[in-house]
A and B are shown apart, each in its own frame.
Chain A
Amino acid sequence: MFTHLQTHSCYSLLYGVRPVDEMVDAAAARGYGALALTDINNLYGMHDFTEACSRRGVRPVIGVEFRTDDARALVLARDRRGFSRLTRLTSARMREAGFGLSAALAECSDGLVVISDTPALLAGLNGRVEALYAMVTPHSRRAEREARRLGIPLAACGDVSFLSEDDHHVHRVLRAIAARGPLSSMRDEDCAPPGSSLFGPEDADRIFGGIPDAIASTEKIAGMCSFDGSFEGFVFPPAPAGGLVPGEALRCAALRGAERRYGELSESVMERLEYELSIIEGKGFSSYFLSVAGIVARSSLTCGRGSAAASIVAYSLGITNVDPLRHHLYFERFLNPERRDPPDIDVDFAWDERDALIESVFREYGSGHAARVSTMVHFQARSALRETARAYGIPAEEIGAVGRRLTAPRVSGAAPCDGRTWDEIMRVARRITGLPRHLSVHVGGIVLTPGPVDELAPVETANDGSTLLAWDKDGTEKAGLVKIDLLGNRSLAVVRDALLNLRENGVDIDPFTWEPLTDAQTQRLLARGDSIGVFYVESPAMRQLQKKTGRGDFEHLVIHSSIIRPAANRFIAEYVRRLKGKEYAPLHPRLDRILAETYGIMCYQEDVSKVAVALAGFSDADADGLRKILTKKNREERLAAYRERFYEGALQGGVEAAVIDEIWSMIRSFGGYSFCKAHSASYAMVSFQSAYLKAHHPAEFMAAVISNGGGYYSSGAYISEARRMGLSVLAPDVNESSLRYRGRGREIRVGLMAVAGLSSPTLCAVLETRERTGPFGSPEDFVARVAPGEGDIVALAGAGAFDGLFCGERRGIQLRTLLRLLAERGDARSPGDTPALFAPEAPRRTLCRRAALSMEDLHVEFRRLGFLCGHHPLELWRDALTGLSRAMGRDLPGLVGKRVRLAGWPVTRKEILTARGDAMEFVSFEDETAIYETVLFPDEYRAYSRVLDELRPYVIEGTVEEDQGATSLTVKSIRPLPGVKVPAPARREPGPWDTARYRSPFGGG
């Protein structure tokens, strides 16, 4: 019987149109018992393919269709050795500019089947490749004559890319997207032929009539290919050099580290250490721990994330910073004898140190033994619409306008009508949505291998030149490769920079002996929810929760950072009530102990597993499977199977159906993302460190927050927060500012990095010149020593950076003077420009009053900085606010139940869907006195959400409500505050300090 040996899925990027499982489903439905997936030049879809095949009972044949400028060949893996050869070939195809298919196949084709329709290739490989076939397809028999002449057997190939007639049009759009050309000019030779659909076995006889031998070959070839894509065992990093075997080396390192952490080792510590070490060694993870410890040792400040934070070995090695004994963290969630998948260790590093760190790891292990994990970027609804519309020639502005309208949450049933062309674009875009677009680098995943990595997996070269695995993290895991996640974290840089800023100001805090957890002032700040800028607890929802609970201790913060999940609102409300003393009975007596510390509510990921074991009799491995599936994207089908088993097991255990329903709905609330306790504890430690700094050293802390690009809010919102904290925000100044924001006492000096339009070379010149030859004494001195460009002068003057140098002169006059100086300098510069005869005049440093800023000056400052140093941005609407009767944000708690009017600048917005599927929105506004939270219920959302799209202040009316001590405004109406439209802040030219590749001037790492 005929077997399809040439099938392209959507992983033939911007070519194939169908997901792998649809191809497999279609093949199974047509009665095929085996199917080959041969995507063009890659193996991206291999894991999806083998999984789909095992679900549908189809035998997978794994291969690649190699295409080069002058040749094409299908290469199929017969066995594991052939697969290694295939990954090497695929890697070479993707990485080597001069890749020659014929030479590569001639060199080695052990374990492979080669099928080609390129006559020259067939002639070249004849006699050198054991299993060589000539390809005939429904569209081409060009190799037939040459094959007959050389005596090479024929193989019938379907050249399949489609499943339905409409697929061809979608394919042409994808080809146009790939070519960045108009759809109307796509040539036939750039596209698959229209009839490239998956045909049934009965059609094969008709299509390949007259060459039954070609059909017979397909079955024979499929039979030869026994490799089914499954892998056995884990691939760990190579053991570090040194005399000891990995197990011994780890034991020594762990004991040494534990002594550093605990001093004298108690019995409980020793017991836990021994227990963990035995499991780690038993599962072969010793070298992995040592590798991670070696990487972590290179950095100043790290934060272990994920379940690894529950390990005392990791804590001893400095990989994590939370004592698992003190905080009752369970090692089994990380590693247990039953666990079949490789658990990985994830570590956070300061965001600006991470790339350099990864580079150093690559240098140590060699790029042949180290690779970054990739992530496949898929078309999202918006990008599919944009790319399709571009292929149809629609200008960007129009695409943006239509896209915004279409992708806004559904506000009414009426479909927007934009004509036939847009109807067609939308139809195609819907088809394209979800298809893979291109391979990208995963943020922090790397694998280290003892042997050459390209024999284990296909690799490519990332844009930065590093080796990139052509599989994403799931594919990497399926192939047994144990990855290490090195992730960037801005808050670690915030803590680092604040500590360094403090040291400059004469305050020394040693991160290793620092004990913020017990600090009362820190706990009070957290209990008030005054945590803007504080790692992980600064979002409006989190701050509201802190306010409602009034708890700022570590144990509760760990609970709060876990319980805040999109799907857990109902349980959060119940949690707050129980915390405040509401009586409750455990869901089931068997869960009493498990959920005691979280008030009977499932909070951590491991609670899911524990409950499944205790209530439904799951094995540890199955319970872990249930926990994992909850976080996957396409979980519904598999989750349904778990649900059935859960109900069955619990009923058998005598649990009432109503109780099971309640528990299952709590389990469902872990869908999407959720955390284990160890992870939350590890993060809560960083929260405490940042909260401590905010409580005790607000200027240094807020300066570090803004310098590192903030977190949840914009720079402007942090500036407002700083002002509300009673800090003065000083304008950038060519003599006083550093690159970054700096804090001292009650003042924050804006860094030169904030000035939009200031070029990096001039910025560096300002800092270096000042460092080398002292502060600038006059505008003349500045122009002469820095030699700025005209744009730099305009940017700095607009931001107020010359106010100090000009002693109270208006900014327009400052600019005129500087531009004159610049022009004179340009005229004076001539060949042989001689050095000045006299030393620059002595710095003129007088304290001067800042000139009153005109409204125009304020607008310019806002454009340059994105905020105003001396005022809230509402100042720009001074005229419109005069005479408006309004309440102030800080007074809302005293106005509960009243209808009020406020002015507000939108700070953050969060759209959600109600249980009935209607869109609603939470919007945080700020006025001169406070940030306040508002709610737009579906009716108001429909009426006013779009009004909020502009960057400007609004007048908001509504009723003040209170819930458990947190106030919010239920919006009745919103209108823009009339007045000038403020130009959007200018785009700041990205400087080296904006990339993770930049090494902080504060050192570290």
Chain B
Amino acid sequence: MERQVIHLNIAHFMAAVEELLDPSLRGRPFVVAPEGAERAVAVEVSRTAFREGLRRGMPLGYIRRASPGVRVLPVREAVYRRAGAQLYEIAAGFSPLPESPGGGHLFVDITGTRLLFGHPVDCAARLREEAVRRSGLRPVAGLAVNRLVSKIGTRVVKPDGFVVIAPGDERGFLHHQEVSLIPGVGAKLLERLGLLGIREIGELAGLSDADAAAFLGRHGALLRDRARGIDTAAPSAHPPGGRSIRTSRLFDTDTNDTAEIEAALRGIVEDAGVLLRSDGLAARRVEVALSYSDRLRAQGASSLPAPSWRDAELFEAARAALHRGMTRRVRVRRVSVVLSQLRPEARQAELFSPPGTLKGEALQGAIDSIRRRFGREAVRAASAMRART
């Protein structure tokens, strides 16, 4: 059976959502950034702002100097989350396996749905129409035999349009496109390809195994295969057994104050803990990822001796992971925590728990019930409060 994957992409996702909510913003340059923070950076820029040279991650101070008239909108994460969820829901009506890598991208595998939804091209068109009709957002859409080709397709027609690459047409479609459109081709690779006189995807696709390896190194053959439209990766929305829980905190003003970062970490560990316990799970592994102000990333990981669902234990592991990962003195913009190696929680197994543990367990239960009734912010560890002030 021929696989068929639709790629939907909403360029400048957050800005697109804002424009949807306030149509007067359309066609105007604006950026989305934390309000009132001293050292905020743009987390999104509108299409018009992008054309004027503004980019994500630029400090707000710089943006204001460079484009004095630009409007700054506050970050409304909940709103973007809702918009993303709505798109996902629409896609879920067409496929059991929509995959959402975030940032306004959505892959929908409609393989084998012909009987249900008709010809794949009609199906894709309908999905796009439905997305436009129900969400108001206007995604660019690509339909092809796999994620790779559909993604290259949307890159070609961006920022607006619908492209169909029929099975068997992949090589013809890709042949005269620029090599820079292939996912994974960065500045360095592009320079090498330029030296070799390779500018179009077709020239890359024509390399033999030996030439691909000789010209481009170890991953040359893989890159050549991509140029041929070959994508072996399966959509991986829910890899079995690999589920994880992720929470993060974006600092309005970046910081390198360890105490402040730890306080924020405690907050997001508690948030993750709530999700963990609400699913009746315990985690064995805690990863902490840092995003520095200069956009470099770092991470540290820590394993617990046994799966745990208690905030205190999770936080201690997270703190150890943080200190493993935080080796620079540059300010941190975002801190995230990922709980993984999840197992069903096994509270009953601990028959001979020391009295302290039971007390802690009772406390954790009480806190969770308060949060269930009054919301996450209703009760916090005192040490997590610092970051909020």
Which residues from chain A sit less than 8 Å from chain B, CB to CB?
180-182, 184-185, 390-398, 401, 417-421, 790, 794, 797-798, 810-813, 815-816, 819-820, 822-824, 856, 860
The reply to whether B329 and A401 contact each other, CB–CB distance below 8 Å, is no
B197 touches A810 (CB 8 A): yes
Chain A binder among B104-112, B224-232, B251-259? B251-259
> A357 to B213, alpha carbons, bound, how many Å?
49
- Say yes or no for B116: interface residue by CB 8 A criterion: no
Partner of B214, one of A794, A810, A819: A819
Q: Which residues of A contact B198 (CB under 8 A)?
A: 812
B294 touches A396 (CB 8 A): yes
Could you list 18 examples of A-B contacts with CB < 8 Å?
A184-B256, A184-B258, A390-B329, A394-B330, A395-B293, A396-B330, A419-B61, A421-B38, A794-B192, A812-B197, A816-B197, A819-B196, A820-B214, A822-B214, A824-B214, A856-B194, A860-B194, A860-B195
Q: Which residues of B contact A417 (CB under 8 A)?
A: 61
Q: Considering the chains assembled together, what is the distance between the CA atoms of A798 and B192 in angstroms?
A: 10
Tell me, in angstroms, the Cα distance from A401 to B293 when the chains sit together: 14
Interface 0/1 of B183-224, CB less than 8 Å to A: 000000000101111100000000000110111010000000
Say yes or no: B294 contacts A182, CB within 8 Å.
Answer: no
Partner of B257, one of A182, A394, A398, A812: A182
Q: Are A420 and B329 in contact (CB under 8 A)?
A: no
**Residue on B nearest A394 in the bound complex, by CB:** B331
Of the candidates A182, A396, A815, the one whose C-beta lies within 8 Å of that of B195 is A815
Q: Cβ of B210 and Cβ of A393 under 8 Å apart?
A: no
- Nearest chain-A residue to B194 (Cβ)? A856
Contact yes or no, B194 A181, CB < 8 A: no
* CB <8 Å contact, B38 and A419: yes
B39 at the interface (CB under 8 A from A): yes
Question: Which of B214-271 touch A at CB < 8 Å?
Answer: 214-215, 217, 253-260
With A398-B59, A419-B39 given, can you name 10 additional A-B contacts, CB distance below 8 Å? A393-B330, A393-B331, A398-B293, A794-B192, A811-B195, A812-B198, A815-B196, A816-B197, A819-B215, A860-B194
**Given A182-B256, A184-B256, A798-B195, A395 and B294 touching (CB < 8 A)?**
yes
Which residues on the A side are within 8 Å of B315 (C-beta)? none
Residues in B neighbouring A394, C-beta threshold 8 A:
293, 330-331
Tell me whether A420 and B38 are in contact (CB under 8 A).
yes
Given contacts A398-B59, A815-B196, contact A820 B256 (CB under 8 A): no
**Chain B residues with CB under 8 A of A798:** 195
Residues of A within 8 A of B215 (CB): 815-816, 819
Q: A395-B293, A820-B211 are in contact. Are A180 and B329 (CB under 8 A)?
A: yes
Across the interface, which residues of A come within 8 angstroms of B330, CB to CB? 393-396
Q: B292 contacts which chain A residues (CB < 8 A)?
A: 395
Q: Are B210 and A397 in contact (CB under 8 A)?
A: no
Interface centre among A182, A396, A811, A813, by most chain B C-beta atoms within 10 angstroms, is A182
Closest to B296 in A: A395
For the complex, give the distance between the alpha carbons of A950 and B217 in Å. Answer: 34
What CA separation (Å) do A393 and B332 show in the bound complex?
A: 8
Q: Which residues of B lie under 8 Å from residue A391 when comparing CB positions?
A: 329
Cα of A812 to Cα of B211 in the assembled complex, Å: 13
3 A-B pairs closest in CB distance = A812-B197, A393-B256, A395-B294
B210 and A820 within 8 A (CB): yes
Q: Specify the main secondary structure of chain B where it touches its partner.
A: mixed
A529-B326 Cα distance, complex, nearest whole Å: 58
Question: In the assembled complex, how far is the CB of residue A752 from the closest CB belonging to chain B, in whole angstroms?
Answer: 19
Say whether A182 contacts B196, CB under 8 Å.
Answer: no
Report how far A709 CA is from B192 CA in the complex, Å. Answer: 29
B61 touches A421 (CB 8 A): no
Q: Residues 52-65 of chain B: 1 if any A CB is under 8 Å from the residue's CB, otherwise 0?
A: 00000001011000
> Could you tell me the distance between the alpha carbons of A822 and B329 in the complex, rounded to whole angstroms?
43
* Complex-state Cα separation, A798 to B197, whole angstroms: 12
Number of interface residues of B (CB under 8 A): 31
Chain B: which residue is nearest A818 at the CB level? B214
Residues of B with C-beta under 8 A to A185: 257-258
A393, A418, A816: the one contacting B196 at CB < 8 Å is A816
In the complex, which of the residues A390, A419, A856 has the most CB atoms of chain B within 10 Å of its own CB atom?
A419
Contacts A398-B59, A419-B39, A819-B215: A182 and B254 contacting too (C-beta < 8 A)? Answer: no
* Structural contact, A182 and B329, CB atoms closer than 8 A: yes
Chain A residue contacts of B61, Cβ below 8 A: 417-419
Do the beta carbons of A823 and B213 come within 8 Å of each other? Answer: yes
Residues from chain B with a CB closer than 8 A to the CB of A820 are: 210-211, 214
Mark each residue of chain B from 6 to 41: 1 if its CB lies under 8 Å from any CB of chain A, else 0.
000000000000000000000000000000001100
Residue among B213, B258, B330 having the largest count of chain A Cβ atoms under 10 Å: B330
Q: A797-B195, A856-B194, A860-B195 are in contact. Are A816 and B211 (CB under 8 A)?
A: yes
Q: How many angstroms between the C-alpha atoms of A794 and B195 in the bound complex?
A: 8
The CA-CA distance from A180 to B328 in the complex, in Å, is 9
Which residue on B lies nearest to A819, using beta carbons?
A: B214
A182 touches B258 (CB 8 A): yes
Cβ of B244 to closest chain A Cβ, rounded Å: 29
Q: Is the CB of A421 within 8 A of B214?
A: no
Q: B253 contacts which chain A residues (CB < 8 A)?
A: 421
Provide the residues of chain A in CB contact with B38, threshold 8 Å: 419-421
Contact B196–A812 (Cβ < 8 Å): yes
Nearest CB of B to A442, in Å: 32
CB distance from B57 to the nearest CB of A (A): 10
Provide the residues of chain A in CB contact with B59, threshold 8 Å: 398
Write the nearest CB–CB distance from A92 to chain B, whole angstroms. 33
| Distance between Cα atoms of A781 and B253 in the complex (Å) | 60
User: Contacts of A822 on B, CB cut-off 8 Å?
Assistant: 214
Q: How far is the CA of A401 from the CA of B331 in the complex (A)?
A: 16
Write out the residue numbers on chain B whose beta carbons fall within 8 Å of the beta carbon of A181.
329
In the complex, what's the smallest C-beta–C-beta distance from A181 to chain B, in angstroms? 6
A72 to chain B, nearest CB (A): 28
A812: chain B residues at CB < 8 Å are: 195-198
Residues of A within 8 A of B196 (CB): 812, 815-816, 819
**Distance to closest chain B CB from A418 (angstroms):** 5
Tell me whether A823 and B257 are in contact (CB under 8 A). no
Residue of B nearest to A395 (CB): B294
Residue of A nearest to B333 (CB): A395
Q: Is the CB of A421 within 8 A of B39?
A: yes
B214 touches A393 (CB 8 A): no
Residues of A within 8 A of B254 (CB): 393
Q: Which residues in chain B, 281-329, are within 8 Å of chain A measured between CB atoms?
A: 292-294, 329
Contact check, B214 vs A397: say whether CB atoms are below 8 A apart. no
Nearest CB of B to A233, in Å: 50
C-alpha gap A600/B253 in the complex (Å): 65
Bound Cα distance A401, B217 (Å): 36
**Closest chain A CB from B263 CB (angstroms):** 12
Chain B residues near A401: list those with CB within 8 A.
Answer: 62
CA distance in complex: A392, B59 (Å): 16
Could you say which of B217, B259, B293 contacts A393, with CB atoms under 8 Å apart? B293
Q: Which residue of B lies closest to A821 (CB)?
A: B214
Residues of B within 8 Å of A180, CB to CB, are: 329
Q: Which residues of A contact B217 (CB under 8 A)?
A: 790
The complex places the Cα of A815 from the Cα of B255 at a distance, in Å, of 47
Q: How far is the CA of A740 from the CA of B293 in the complex (A)?
A: 43
**Smallest beta-carbon distance A489→chain B, Å:** 39
Contacts of A418 in B (CB 8 A): 61
| Interface positions of B from 328 to 362, Cβ below 8 Å from A | 329-331
Q: Which residues of A contact B258 (CB under 8 A)?
A: 182, 184-185
A395→B210 contact, CB < 8 A: no
Q: Output the least CB separation between A136 and chain B (Å).
A: 34
A797 / chain B contacts, CB cutoff of 8 Å: 195
In whole angstroms, how far apart are the Cα atoms of A891 and B264 in the complex?
67
Query: Taking A419-B39, A820-B211 as contacts, is the C-beta distance between A395 and B331 under 8 angstroms?
Result: yes
Distance between A203 CB and nearest chain B CB, rounded to angstroms:
35
CA distance A820 to B211 in the complex (A): 6
Q: What is the CA–CA distance of A398 and B254 in the complex, to the nearest angstrom? A: 13
Q: Which has the most chain B C-beta neighbours within 10 Å: A181, A394, A794, A824?
A: A394
A695 to B151, CA, bound (A): 64
| Bound Cα distance from A860 to B194, whole angstroms | 9
Interface residue from A184, A390, A397, A860 paired with B259 (Cβ < 8 Å): A184
